[in-house]
Structure 1
Amino acid sequence: MSLRSANIERIDGGLFDVLVVGAGINGAVSAAALAGRGASVALIDRGDFGGFVSQESSNLVWGGFKYLENYELPLVFGLCRSRNRLMKAYPDNIREIGFLAALDHGSPYAPWFAGLGATAYWGIGLFGTKRPHLYDADDVKEQEPAIDTTDVRGAIEYRDAFLVDNDSRFVFSFVRSALEAGASVANYVELVSAERIGDRWVCRLRDTDTGREVTTAARVVVNAAGPFVDEINESWDLRTEHRIVYSKGIHLVVPRLTTTTHDRVLAFFDDTQRLFYVIPMGRRSVIGTTDTRVDSPYTEVTDEDREFLLEQINKRLDLAQPLTADDVIAERCGVRPLVVSRGAGDQDQADWTSLSRKHEIERDDHQRVVTVLGGKLTDCLNVGEEVAEEVVRLGIPLEKDLGNWYGEPAAQTRAEFYRQARLMRLDALRTKPDTEPLTDRLWRRYGRRAFDLLEAIRADPSMGEDVMGSADYLRAELYTAAQHEMVVTLDDFMRRRSKIDLVVRDEDIEGSEGLREVARILFGDDADRRLAEYLDARHRERHTVADEDRTSA
């Protein structure tokens, strides 16, 4: 029986302290915090773990420098504290990085004034990063030759942090933590109905992959459905003081634009006076993001979106050839669930662009529901702790929070892994330029499970080979994903457990001789069906985009 099937069996007919609905970052961290403090927890999502909003982030862990503009000092302080905690708890997954903000004559702030703001930001962040630095125009060109400094007055470099791997994999680390603490978790399980009967919620669930229906019960429900929280609460006649509105943001993944000697984010004000960024992602750069008000959580990149970002970056970088749509390797598009008060009415455009990524957590004592609204990756530890406290107030006793539900393994465990990897010359297996050492990558992605990968490679050297040459993924990693990471569709692996879909061109993926082996390892006898579903979905998506582009033209 697969890990996922075993978890669904435990959920079926069970009675849990808490059912968490939604396995994006808010749901995953809530499940980990609750299970880590002794609660019996079930976690479900109608899609994949981290498979909607949480897979479309900028991969940045930041305190919200731009929120100083609206004097949201308490929010910035809380986000910076959370950022500092995450950097300390995940030293291999979350690393400090410089943000070089180039300021031209059209920027809303002079370099000296931005420097004051960066210094204040550093202080509000309790000096948890390296200090900011002010550059004149000549220094900017020396720091980053890719910037066109023709109209640049100067620049400020401040510090924040970024996820080395993709956002969905970080979400999955909390899912894994919840599992290890005893939670029952399952992706592709939707909530069909829920009814409060006596002292519990009785919930009918459906496995969307097989169609099987099961029933479970829970004393408390945590609604962590991201952009869908209002929809779920309305189905229960539950009204919160806050609601969600949507802002669409897109990112374009292109070949690396900046120097590879060290990672640094470039920041610019676009023609609408909104910050956008060039973010390093290994051998790629990510350009974004935009901010467009939308009425639906279901979004897509339009011709207009794409052209806007390409125009903005071409104006500000000194490139041998301007970027075009042909240079785009992958696109990311999602909504930010932004929190507003129900009494605030509609937001006008001025208010719209100033809305922050704060979160609100509300408790309904009568129906025994905790609702998580808004939030972002940076704030996840705060969300987990606050949800746990609300659950306690609903009568579910929890053990003392020892902080053991998050973070990487101990430094001694890491040192032992690196010792064993060095003895077996693990890094000698990789000869590709501009790729990080295998030791670093395997430890960061798998933690203690990385020891099993070493053992597999020792027993069979073919386990240390790349299955898809351009994707940098070992055969041993695929077997680990198949056994331990609840991969249901090929897209789960290609887009969320890994970031292959984000950094490898479509034609290289679909033309890879290793793609069929990837499917075979992950799905066994079901490989042909899963591979066909994956390729059909990609084909439909490209045709849909092409049809829309022709229509807009």
Structure 2
Amino acid sequence: MQGHMGEQMVEQIDCDVLVVGGGVNGVGIARDAAGRGLRVVLCEKDDLASHTSSASSKLVHGGLRYLEQYQFALVRKALVERERLLQSAPHIMWPLSFVMPHDSGQRPAWLIRAGLLLYDGLARRAFLPRSRAVDLRRHSAGAPLQPQFVRGFEYADGWVDDARLVALTALDAAERGATILTRTACTEVQRHPLHWQATLTSATRTRQVNARCLVDASGPWAGRLLAAGVVAAGAAVAPRLVKGSHIVVPRLFDHPRGYIFQHPDGRIVFALPYEEKFTLIGTTDVEFAGALDDVAISAAETDYLCALANRYFRAQISAADVVWSFAGVRPLAAPSADSAQDASRDFQLVWDAGHSPGNSSAAAVLTVLGGKITTFRTLAEQAVDLIAAALGNQHGHWSAAACLPGGDLFGPLPNRRAVLEYDSWADSILARYRFLSPPLVRRYARAYGTRIHLLLEGCRASADLGPQIVSGLFAVEADYLMRHEWAVCGADILWRRTKLGLHAHAGAEALVDAWIARRASQVSAGRLPQPA
């Protein structure tokens, strides 16, 4: 249905749920709701995962440090989800062992061992090994460390490509019927007795959406969407904003494990193998009050992370060694009395059904606060439980038994085999695409899982990949990401859908942007088919 707003045509959309925010929680809610048969529209003012959800430590974990704060329920909930997620998307998530060096300045060794035993036992583990004490003088993880670290502990958690997790969750939502609108801001919302009326604006069009329920999953922007007085008294809350920053430096160790450092100042910092040639170090925890569209690591944070790394590693680094850094603002539901590093990462769902004194019937709104990547699925499930009950939907839960796109390596259901036998599956993919270089096929397998066959559909020789736009990026992949994963510019492709930006030369983004512009002109001239 079309209407007019001045001289511009306005598209009219009716839906059950409008989700504002294209981070991990927003796309998770859109996916769950669409899977229950609800009509869903999601809008994101920038790219998917362009803020907090691509600025994490890339971990699927229970949160070992939260045991010290007696947050046992949060840790157990995350541990249950950890193995469920690893099985649902084994191409973009995988087990990772962590080594925790110990010295006299830390908590007593017996206390750390007790905490790890509790961590092992809080939830059933299907395939991750139990923790153990290690002699760093003999363990391969000891060689890169300063010589004073002679003992430590090893335990297992998981790794995730966070930005790809968001993109694949959005893809699953779309394939279940959701409408995903990136580069589309929600510029106005009005509450009516039975629905919300929202104006969604992009560079090319305006849409007016009538939704029975509104979900504010805008992360650090949560609460700013709604005008004063729109939400029932007392229901409007704002998140506590804490910035976390990371640095990436040339590789400090060549084994596949990560490190967790319990620094004497009380902070927990990780050093992780990253993109084969690099080490990822973070995170910091700093209260944030700046512009949310301009979040960056500070010089002080960079110096802090370098100094911390230098305390543990033989190889010394400085700010000059940092090849990339990123920062994100976490929207926490924790009280300000807690320190930033100790504040809970649990989530809070603020539900306003619209029933308040003098207002017996009004459209519902849900505001999402807090959360972490590991618990995004269960957050979405609980959120849609509230929405479904209000809208009379009785579909029930489904996402715990579903793979994310590309994760169905050995069948449609999440299973241990997909985690334990990923390498054998990848070997079969290498054999099938033997006309391509093995490193390229391995990267495609990791990024796309079984969707590699869609990516390479029609390719019978390396020439079928099309021109190499920048190092490692061929036209066939860029085209796929534009058609299926909402990529529209070089940054989307090089930094969020892939991490090729780390490996490419200076100016790579501009080259990809130029290729996209040429492709768009060819489409408009009819020399290429219109993207799906």
**Which category describes the TM-score, using the shorter chain as reference length?**
0.7 to 0.9
Cα deviation, residue 248, structure 1: 1.2
Alignment of 1:188-267 (within 5 A): 188-207=183-202, 209-210=203-204, 212-235=205-228, 237-238=230-231, 239-240=234-235, 243-260=238-255, 263-267=256-260
Q: Deviations over 1:104-137 (max 9, x none)?
A: 2222x12232111111101013234201011245
**How far, CA to CA, are the matches of 2:62 and 2:230 in structure 1?**
35
Cα deviation, residue 91, structure 1: 1.9
**How far, CA to CA, are the matches of 1:289 and 1:143 in structure 2?**
21
AA partner of residue 480 (structure 2): T
Alignment of 1:149-168 (within 5 A): 149-150=147-148, 152=149, 154-163=151-160, 166-168=161-163
5+ residue gaps in structure 2? 1-7, 355-362, 413-417, 419-423, 523-532
> Is it true that 1:365 corresponds to 2:328 in the alignment?
no
Cα deviation, residue 373, structure 1: 0.8
2:386 corresponds to which of 386, 390, 398: 390
Structure 2 counterpart of 1:60: 59
Alignment of 1:251-290 (within 5 A): 251-260=246-255, 263-282=256-275, 283-290=277-284
SS at 1:386 equivalent: helix
Structure 1 counterpart of 2:115: 117
1:36–1:405: 8 Å Cα contact kept in structure 2? no
AA partner of residue 454 (structure 1): L
Cα deviation, residue 234, structure 1: 4.9
5+ residue gaps in structure 1? 1-8, 431-436, 529-553
Identity of aligned residues (%): 26
Q: Deviations over 1:279-311 (max 9, x none)?
A: 111221101111111224453212111111111
> Is it true that 1:147 corresponds to 2:145 in the alignment?
yes
1:301–1:333: 8 Å Cα contact kept in structure 2? yes
2:433–2:441: 8 Å Cα contact kept in structure 1? no
2:242–2:332: 8 Å Cα contact kept in structure 1? yes
**How far, CA to CA, are the matches of 1:11 and 1:384 in structure 2?**
31
SS at 2:456 equivalent: helix
> Is it true that 1:446 corresponds to 2:448 in the alignment?
yes
> Is it true that 1:479 corresponds to 2:442 in the alignment?
no
**How far, CA to CA, are the matches of 2:180 and 2:228 in structure 1?**
23
| Number of equivalenced pairs | 488
**How far, CA to CA, are the matches of 1:30 and 1:113 in structure 2?**
39
AA partner of residue 429 (structure 1): S
SS at 1:411 equivalent: coil
**How far, CA to CA, are the matches of 2:236 and 2:116 in structure 1?**
34
1:429–1:464: 8 Å Cα contact kept in structure 2? no
2:136–2:143: 8 Å Cα contact kept in structure 1? no
Between Structure 1 and Structure 2, the one with more helix by share is 1
AA partner of residue 53 (structure 2): S
SS at 1:205 equivalent: strand
Cα deviation, residue 232, structure 1: 1.9
1:194–1:204: 8 Å Cα contact kept in structure 2? yes
Structure 1 counterpart of 2:299: 303
**How far, CA to CA, are the matches of 1:125 and 1:521 in structure 2?**
49
Moved more, 388-397 or 18-27: 388-397
1:359–1:373: 8 Å Cα contact kept in structure 2? yes
1:111–1:134: 8 Å Cα contact kept in structure 2? no
Structure 2 counterpart of 1:422: 431
**How far, CA to CA, are the matches of 2:432 and 2:449 in structure 1?**
18
Moved more, 294-303 or 458-467: 458-467
1:122–1:131: 8 Å Cα contact kept in structure 2? yes
1:245–1:295: 8 Å Cα contact kept in structure 2? no
1:144–1:258: 8 Å Cα contact kept in structure 2? no
Cα deviation, residue 422, structure 1: 1.5
AA partner of residue 15 (structure 2): F
Change (3 A) 1:337 1:441: same
Structure 2 counterpart of 1:335: 329
**How far, CA to CA, are the matches of 2:432 and 2:383 in structure 1?**
44
Change (3 A) 1:235 1:44: farther
In angstroms, what is the RMSD of aligned CA positions? Answer: 2.7
Alignment of 1:480-519 (within 5 A): 480-501=480-501, 503-504=502-503, 508-510=505-507, 518-519=512-513
Structure 2 counterpart of 1:377: 373
Q: Deviations over 1:7-35 (max 9, x none)?
A: xx999311101000101000000000111
Moved more, 399-408 or 125-134: 399-408
